[in-house]
Amino acid sequence: MKKDDNVRLKNMRDTAYKVIKFAEGHSREDLNTNQILTSALIREIGVIGEAAARVSTEKRDQLKEIPWKSIIGMRNRLIHDYDEIDLDLLWETITKDIPELIEKLESIPSL
């Protein structure tokens, strides 16, 4: 594994934990009223997607259990379609996809 890949994978993992921590104690409805929370979550999920996009193709091919295309696609939607963010999809990402991603990243021996 390239050193940069390891750094990026760790960044994805650490940022995913940050997303969980930020969302702790909140509900989907809070995204409607708490602009700071929503902005922070969008930013951090975008960071995960950016780090994923920078993982080498070779490493992504080795880690097929990670949904690279979905992660990178989410980042692109959050950044480029910022005015049309689906808060239900964002909450599903936070509560379902991020914990699954953490589990997959934690299973990588070199992290």
The residues assigned a catalytic role are 75, 80
DSSP code, position 65: T
Query: How far is the C-alpha of 63 from the C-alpha of 67, rounded, in Å?
Result: 9
Nearest to 9 by CA among 91, 90, 66: 66
Burial class (CB in 10 A: 0-12, 13-18, 19+), 28: middle
